[in-house]
Amino acid sequence: MSENIYKPYLMEIVNIVEETPDVRTFRLKFKNNEEAEKFSFKAGQFGEYSVFGEGESTFCVASSPTRKGYIECTFRKAGRVTNSLANLEIGDTVGFRGPYGNTFPIEEWEGKNLLYIAGGIALPPMRCVIWNTIDLREKYKDITIVYGARTVSDLVYKDELKEWEDRPDIKLITTVDPGGQTPEWRGEIGFVPMVLEKVAPSSDNTVAILCGPPVMIKFTMPVLKKLGFKDKDIYTTLENRMKCGFGKCGRCNVGKVFVCKDGPVFSYEQILELPEEY
Amino acid sequence: METTRKLIRKQSLEKLYAHLSGSRKIYAPVTAANKQVDYKYNPPYAEVASDHIRSTLSVKNIVFPKVENLFLFTNNRTESTITDIELFKIPEVVLWGAHPCDTAAFDVLRSIFCWDTKDEFFSQRVEKLTVIGFACHKSDDYCFCTSTGLSPDSSKGSDILLSRLQNGDYVADIITEKGNAILDSCPGLFEAAPDEKPVITEVKVKFSHEQVTAKLANAFEHPFWIENSLRCIGCGACAYVCPTCACFDIQDETKGKNGKRYRSWDSCGFGLFTLHTSGHNPRQVQSQRWRQRIMHKFSYMPDRNESLGCVGCGRCSSGCPVDMNISEQLEALQNI
Amino acid sequence: MTNLINRAKELLENGTVKVVIGYEAGPTGLARPAFITDPAKAGKLIYDDRCVQNLAVYLTKAEVKNLGKMAIVSTLPVMRSIMMLISEHQVMGDNIVVLGISTEKELLDIADIGVMKGYIEKCDLRNPEKDRETLAMLNALTPAERFAWWQKEMEKCIKCYACRQACPMCYCIRCTVEVNQPQWIPVQANPHGSTEWHILRAMHLAGRCISCGECGRACPVGIPCHLLTMQLADQVNNYFHVHAGTSDNMTSVLSTYEPNDKESFII
Amino acid sequence: MSDFEPKVVAFVCNWCTYAGADLTGTSRIKYASNVKIIRFPCTGRIDFMLLLKAFANGADGIIVSGCHPNDCHYTSGNFHAKRRWIMFKELMDFMGIDMNRITFSWVSAAEGARWADVVNSTVTRIRELGPYVSYKELVNKSVEEEVKND
C-alpha cells in the first residue's frame, strides 16, 4: 500500500534561535535516517509543520538546500500552532510534511545580478534562496539585499545580517522604519520603497526577488518599475491559508491557480494575470 | 467492458438485497418520520426508500466521511510517535439505491482527490465500494442533471444500474467487473431482459455547461456576483449536502497525550475559511465566496481537473434556507 | 400587497431609502429575500404565507449595508429582531424604515421605533403555537428520554452553521465555536461536538432569542434546534419576566441582574 | 459499583469558597478526597463551557461555588453568575443532561465545615448515581461505526 500523504515526518528540534521576542528559528533533524536520506527539496518550497495535538501550520523551508542534513523554519507566534511551537524546547518532536510547491528558478538566474528585497518576517521565505545563491556565489554576479523591519529588534537573522554585511561579495542594506532605530543603529532609516529608490540598484541584467507585507509590495512595485525592472524579472512568494499542501483542501486557490501547487513562487508577470484573491 | 442487460423481478430485488447484505455492509436510503430521506447502514429491506427524488445529504459520506481520522499520535514531547491508519481495514460496502447524479459524483471527487497526489483514504474507500444505482423515474424543478452532461438514467459510477419497468420489475445493466461479479454470485436472481423500455423521468435542459464555462472565464469582476449573492447568509449547507464538494479542514484532538489528526468537511462559504492569522482575508465578503463556489465547479475544475464540478442533483438549492437556486443562476450566467 | 409595493416604490423614488429588503417569488414557487434598489422593480415584492425568512439577518450584512439606507419588510419577529439589534447597538433605529406587516398581512404604518414598540406590546409574544406543543411534549418526558430524543437529533448535525447564519442575533464576526485558543467546542460534527455546539448557541441566545424559529427552519437536516432557544426564551420570561425584542433599550438578561432573582437549586 | 470513586471537579471563587476550603484544611476537618479544586477569580468568570469541559474530560460530578449573595469581592459577580446558572440549568434539563451531578453552592471564607458538607454530600450523591456513563459515551462516540477507521 502506498503511503499516507497526511502523515508527517518526525523531526527533532536540534537548535532554537530567538530572532526577536516573537520570532523563533528551529533547526530540525529527521528522527529516521532513512527518511533523511530520501528527503530533498529546492529553494522556495514550503512544508506543513505540526505540534501533535495542536495542528499544522504552513511556512517556507528557511534553510538552503545546499546545507544538508537538516531543515530550518522561522515563524512568528501568531496563532494556535505557532504559539505551541514557540513553547517547545530542544529535543522535542515536531511533525513536518513536505516539501510542497514550486521553486525559485535559480538556474535561469545564473549569470545575472540578484536583488533581494524583504520586509519584516518576509525574510525567512527568502533566506532559503539567498543562501542557496550565496553558496553558489560564482554563478551569479552582484548580490544585493535590501531588508527592512519596523524596529531594530524586529530584524530577524541578526547574526547572518552581520555575516552578509562583512562579506565583500554581497551588498546588504538594512533599514528600519522611522522611530524604530536605536542610538547604535548604523543602517538606513526609512521605509523599504524609499530606501530602495535611494539606493537605486540597476535593473540591467538583474532579477528582483521581492517579499513582504502587502503594503510594502504595493509601494515597492512602482519603484522597481521606475528602475526599469520588467514584470518577468520580478519574483515573489505568495502565501494563502492552506491545510493540505497538495491542492485538495480547497483553501489556497487564487482563481484557478493553487498557491500550494503552482506557487508559492510567482513572477510578477504571472501575478498580474491572477484575480485579486490573495 | 461491454454492458449486458438483465431482468430482475420485484421479488428478486429483495433477495438481491439480502444476498448483498449477507456478505458486506450495505448503505441504503431510508425515509424518516419527517419525510426526509437519509442513507443508513444496513437498514431492513422493508424500510429502504425507492420512490424518493433526492436524499437530504448526498452519499459522499461513504467515500469522504464527514469526519475521518488521518492518523493517531502520542505526544511525549521528545518521544512522540505516530500510528498509521490501517486502510486495509476499511470494510467492503455496497451502496444501494443511489441515483445517477450521486453515482456520477464519485468521478468528480476522484478528480479532486486523485489529481497529482493520490489520496489513499478516498481511493481505498472507492475501491471497497460497489454501487447499485437506480435510474430516476421521478424528478422535480431542482433537478438539472441533463444540464451537466448527465441524464436520469446515466450509468456513470454504477457497477449495476437498475431501471424500473412499468410493472415494478427492473432491468439491470451490468456495467463493470464488480457488477459482473455480483451477477455471477447469484445468477438465479437475474433473467433475460425484455425488450421493454424502463420508466425514466424527463429532466429539462436548463443551460449549456460549456457555455457557462466559457462565460465564466472572463466573469471574475462581473457585478453578477454581488447582485446575486445578497441574500446568501454564508452557511455551509450547500457545500455539506453537495455530492461533489470536497473542501476539508484538518484538526487535532487529544485526550492527555494521545490524540488523532482528522479531517472534516469544510465550506468555502464560511467567512473564516480563507482568513490568514494576520487578519488578512483574500475573500472578505460573501459575494467573493459565492463566486468561488460557482467558479470552482464550473470554471476552475473543467480547466484543472478536466471534470465539471457539478452533477445537477439540485440539493444545494433545495437545502438552501434562502433559496439560492444554482440552476437559475447558471442559466443567467450563460447569458451575461 | 399593492400598498406594500406602492410604499416601497415611493421610498425608493423620493430617495428616503436606497434599498428595500423584502420577499420575492423564486422560480420553484418559494418566496425568498429580495433586495429592491430600483423603484421600477418594486412590483416584484410579495407578501404571503410563503414569506418565512427573518429578514433582519441582512441588517448587519456588510454588502447589504453598503447599498445605503434600508427599508425592511417586517413581520413581528423581524420587528422584535430590529429592537434587539438596536438595543445591542448593531443598527441605528434612525437608519432603517420599517415596513410593518400585521398578522392579517396588512401594511402597518410604522412611523418610528416608538410606534413599532407600541405595536409589539399589543402582540402575542409567546412562542408560536406548534412549537409550544412540541415544547410541552418534551418537557413532559423524563430527563433520560429527553437526552435520547436530543441525541437522535444531534447525530444528524453536520455543523454547516445554517442555524447560526440564519439568526439575526448571531452577528459575531468570530463565533466562539471558531475560537481555537482554547478550542472550546470540538470541531468535529460528531455527537459530542454537535451537542456542545447547540448548547453554546442556545446559551449565547438566552434572553436574546425572539422566537422566530428561523434557526430550525434553516437547518438542512431538519434538527428542530429552535426549540432550544425557545425553551430558554420561555424560561427567561418565567424567571425574569422579560420578552426579548420589546423595546429598543433592552438590557441583556445575562449581563444584568436583580439582587432578588429567584432560584431554588443553589445550596 | 462499590469500588467506584467519583471524580468531582470543583470550580470555586478565589475570595470566598477557596478561602473556605482552605479553612476546612487548617481546621483539620476531613472530607472526601474525590474533589479537584480549580480556583477562579470570581464565580462570574466560571463559563458554562468549562463545566461541559469537565464532563467531557471524565468528571462524574461538578461543584460550582462562590461568595454568598451581597458578599462578592467584585460586588456583583455572583449575581451575574446566578442568572447564568439558572439559564444553564434550564437548558441542561431540557436537553436531558443530568443536573443532579452539579452542585451549586455559596460557601464563604468562614464556612470551612460547610465546605466539607458540600463536598461530602456531593460525593455521596454522585457515588449513588454512579459514573456519568451517558456523557462519557457521548464523548467516545466519535463517528459512525461504519466509516470509523481507528
- On whether the CB atoms of residues D86 and C134 are closer than 8 A, the answer is no
Give the CA dihedral B294, B295, B296, B300, nearest 10 degrees. 150
Non-local CB neighbours of D130 within 8 Å, separated by 6+ positions: D1, D4, D60
pLDDT above 70 as % of chain B: 100
Q: Is the pLDDT of residue C34 over 70?
A: yes
Residue with cell 472534516: B264
pLDDT of residue A2: 57
B227-264 tens-digit pLDDT: 999 999 999 999 999 999 999 999 999 888 999 999 99
Q: What's at B39, amino acid-wise?
A: Y
Tell me the mean pLDDT in the region B51-77.
93
C30 touching chain B per CB within 8 A:
yes
- On whether the CB atoms of residues A278 and A254 are closer than 8 A, the answer is yes
Q: How confident is the model at residue B22 (pLDDT cuts 50, 70, 90)?
A: confident
Q: What's at C8, amino acid-wise?
A: A
Alpha helices in B24-119 (DSSP H): 100-113
Size of interface A-C (CB pairs under 8 A): 6
Which residues in C lie closer than 8 A to residue B242 (C-beta atoms)? none
Non-local CB neighbours of A163 within 8 Å, separated by 6+ positions: none
State phi, psi for A189 to the nearest 5 degrees.
-125, 125
CA distance C61 to chain D (A): 28
Tell me the mean pLDDT in the region C79-103.
94
Q: Is the pLDDT of residue B324 over 90?
A: yes
Q: Is the peptide bond before A105 cis (omega within 30 degrees of 0)?
A: no
A77 touching chain B per CB within 8 A:
no
Non-local CB neighbours of A43 within 8 Å, separated by 6+ positions: A64, A65, A103, A104, A106, A128, A129, A132
Which residues in D lie closer than 8 A to residue C139 (C-beta atoms)? 94
Q: Where are the beta strands (DSSP E) in chain D?
A: 8-13, 35-40, 61-66, 102-106
State phi, psi for C52 to the nearest 5 degrees.
-115, -25
Which of the residues C159, C215, C227 would you substitute to probe the B interface, choosing the one with the greatest number of B C-beta atoms within 10 Å? Answer: C159
- Edge-first strand order for the sheet with C19-25 is C31-36, C19-25, C70-74, C96-100
Q: From residue C227, how far is each of A49, B129, B181, C126 by CA, in Å?
A: 43, 39, 50, 13
pLDDT of residue D142: 65
Tell me the mean pLDDT in the region B266-285.
92
CA distance A80 to chain C (A): 6
B187-224 tens-digit pLDDT: 999 999 899 999 999 999 999 999 999 999 999 999 99
Which chains are within 8 Å of B by 3+ CB pairs? Answer: A, C, D
**Comparing C-alpha atoms, which of B64, B35, B291 is closest to residue C158?**
B64
- Asked whether the beta carbons of residue D147 and residue B255 sit closer than 8 angstroms, the reply is no
Q: Is the pLDDT of residue D138 over 80?
A: yes
- Asked whether the beta carbons of residue C180 and residue A80 sit closer than 8 angstroms, the reply is yes
D144 touching chain B per CB within 8 A:
yes
Tell me the mean pLDDT in the region C195-205.
96
- Asked whether the beta carbons of residue A92 and residue B78 sit closer than 8 angstroms, the reply is yes
- Asked whether the beta carbons of residue B328 and residue C26 sit closer than 8 angstroms, the reply is yes
Q: What's at B312, amino acid-wise?
A: G
pLDDT of residue B255: 85
C1-13 tens-digit pLDDT: 789 999 999 999 9
Using CB atoms and an 8 Å cut-off, which of residues 215-244 of chain C contact chain A? none
pLDDT of residue B11: 92
pLDDT of residue D148: 58
- Asked whether the beta carbons of residue B85 and residue D144 sit closer than 8 angstroms, the reply is no
Tell me the mean pLDDT in the region A186-203.
91
Q: Do chains A and D touch (3 or more CB pairs under 8 A)?
A: no
Which residues in C lie closer than 8 A to residue B226 (C-beta atoms)? 63
Residue D1 or D53, more confident: D53
Please tell me chain D's helix, strand, coil percentages from 3-state DSSP, rounded to the nearest 5: 50, 15, 35
Give the CA dihedral B109, B112, B114, B115, nearest 10 degrees. 150
Which residues in B lie closer than 8 A to residue D142 (C-beta atoms)? 67
Distance CA C24, CA C27 (A): 10
Distance CA C9, CA C45 (A): 10
CA distance C185 to chain A (A): 14
Taking CA atoms, what residue in C is nearest to A80? C181
B147 touching chain C per CB within 8 A:
no
Please tell me chain B's helix, strand, coil percentages from 3-state DSSP, rounded to the nearest 5: 35, 20, 45
D49 touching chain C per CB within 8 A:
yes
- Asked whether the beta carbons of residue C254 and residue D134 sit closer than 8 angstroms, the reply is no
Burial C229-251 (b: 16+ CB within 10 A, else e): bbbbbbbbbebbebbbbbbbebe
**Comparing C-alpha atoms, which of B117, C168, B65, D31 is closest to residue A261?**
B117
Q: From residue C187, how far is each of A174, B263, C158, C174 by CA, in Å?
A: 44, 10, 11, 15
Q: How far is CA A84 from the centre of its chain?
A: 21
Q: Is the pLDDT of residue B106 over 90?
A: yes
A69-101 tens-digit pLDDT: 899 999 999 999 999 999 999 999 999 998 999
* B41 closest CB neighbour out of D142, D143, D146: D146
pLDDT of residue B305: 87
Which residues in C lie closer than 8 A to residue D83 (C-beta atoms)? 240, 253-254, 256-257, 261
Q: Is the pLDDT of residue D8 over 70?
A: yes
Q: How far is CA B138 from the centre of its chain?
A: 19
What is the domain partition of chain C in residue ranges? 2-122, 129-255
Which chains are within 8 Å of C by 3+ CB pairs? Answer: A, B, D
Q: How confident is the model at residue A1 (pLDDT cuts 50, 70, 90)?
A: very low
* B241 closest CB neighbour out of C164, C188, C220: C220
Alpha helices in A153-235 (DSSP H): 158-166, 192-199, 214-226
What is the domain partition of chain A in residue ranges? 9-100, 113-237
**Comparing C-alpha atoms, which of B55, B11, B26 is closest to residue B182?**
B26
**Comparing C-alpha atoms, which of C46, C123, C83, C100 is closest to residue C248?**
C83
* D149 closest CB neighbour out of B66, B90, B93: B90
C191 touching chain B per CB within 8 A:
no
Distance CA D82, CA D66 (A): 10
Taking CA atoms, what residue in C is nearest to B32? C222
Q: What's at C191, amino acid-wise?
A: P
- Asked whether the beta carbons of residue D80 and residue C263 sit closer than 8 angstroms, the reply is no
| Residues of B at the D interface, defined by Cβ within 8 angstroms | 25, 27, 41, 61-62, 65-69, 72, 85-87, 89-91, 93, 121, 255, 260
Q: Write the CATH number of the domain with boundaries A113-237.
A: 3.40.50.80
* C228 closest CB neighbour out of D48, D91, D134: D91
- On whether the CB atoms of residues B323 and B268 are closer than 8 A, the answer is no
- On whether the CB atoms of residues B42 and B25 are closer than 8 A, the answer is yes
Which residues in B lie closer than 8 A to residue D144 (C-beta atoms)? 41, 65
Which of the residues C192, C201, C254, C264 would you substitute to probe the D interface, choosing the one with the greatest number of D C-beta atoms within 10 Å? Answer: C192
* B264 closest CB neighbour out of C174, C189, C218: C189
Alpha helices in A39-178 (DSSP H): 80-86, 124-135, 158-166
Q: How confident is the model at residue B278 (pLDDT cuts 50, 70, 90)?
A: confident
**Bridging pattern class, strands D61-66 and D35-40:** unpaired
Instruction: Find the distance separating the first CA and the last CA of chain D, reported in whole Å.
Output: 30
Domains of chain D plus CATH, in order, are 8-135 (3.40.50)
Distance CA D90, CA C199 (A): 11
Which of the residues D91, D140, D141 would you substitute to probe the C interface, choosing the one with the greatest number of C C-beta atoms within 10 Å? Answer: D91
Using CB atoms and an 8 Å cut-off, which of residues 221-240 of chain A contact chain B? 239-240
D134 touching chain C per CB within 8 A:
yes
pTM to 2 decimals? Answer: 0.93
- Asked whether the beta carbons of residue D150 and residue B260 sit closer than 8 angstroms, the reply is yes
Using CB atoms and an 8 Å cut-off, which of residues 166-195 of chain C contact chain A? 180-181, 183
Question: What superfamily would CATH give domain A9-100?
Answer: Translation factors (2.40.30.10)
- On whether the CB atoms of residues D39 and D91 are closer than 8 A, the answer is no
- Cα–Cα–Cα angle for C139, B35, D93, nearest 5°? 15
C144-194 tens-digit pLDDT: 999 999 999 999 999 999 999 999 999 999 999 999 988 999 998 989 999
CA distance C177 to chain B (A): 12
> ipTM of the assembly?
0.92
Q: Is B252 helix (H, G, I), strand (E, B) or coil?
A: strand
- On whether the CB atoms of residues A126 and A48 are closer than 8 A, the answer is no
CA distance D37 to chain C (A): 18
CA distance D141 to chain B (A): 12
Helix axis angle, D77-95 to C226-240, nearest 10°: 130
Tell me the mean pLDDT in the region A128-151.
94
A278 touching chain B per CB within 8 A:
yes
